[in-house]
């Protein structure tokens, strides 16, 4: 796991909970995102999501035109270029390869 900051806290993947307000479900997904107006591709913010809120958190960020990629909890990203995502897949991957 990288040193990227996560909202949800805890050590390792055990005990980490969903970042959605008032949700205490265990997290199973990283919602990797950044605000391109203030941060470059090397800055990745991570929200944690349970299965129930994965699409909600992704869509919330995508609606604001933020690059967002969903990965498994144990697969955070080190960089997040401007990407388009597809929420129909089980793990949302960038359409372009990461450098």
Q: Could you list the pLDDT tens digit for every one of the 99 residues in the chain?
A: 444 444 544 445 568 999 999 999 999 999 999 999 999 989 999 999 999 999 999 999 999 999 999 999 999 898 887 754 444 344 444 443 333
The Cα-based distances of 87 to 1, 11, 48, 57, 71 in angstroms read 23, 28, 16, 11, 11
- Whole-angstrom distance, CA of residue 69 vs CA of residue 93: 6
Q: Are 79 and 42 in contact (CB under 8 A)?
A: yes
Location of structure tokens 């913010």: 45
The domain locations on the chain are: 1-99
């Amino acid at each position: 796991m990288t040193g990227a900051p996560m909202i949800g806290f805890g050590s390792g993947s055990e005990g980490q909970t969903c970042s959605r307000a008032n949700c205490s479900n265990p997290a199973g997904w990283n919602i990797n995102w950044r605000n391109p107006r203030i941060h470059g591709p090397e800055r990745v913010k991570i929200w944690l999501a349970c299965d129930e809120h994965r699409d909600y958190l992704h869509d919330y960020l995508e609606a604001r035109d933020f690059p967002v990629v969903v990965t498994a909890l144990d697969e955070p990203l080190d960089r997040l270029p401007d990407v388009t995502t597809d929420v129909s897949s089980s793990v949302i991957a960038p359409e372009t390869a990461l450098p």
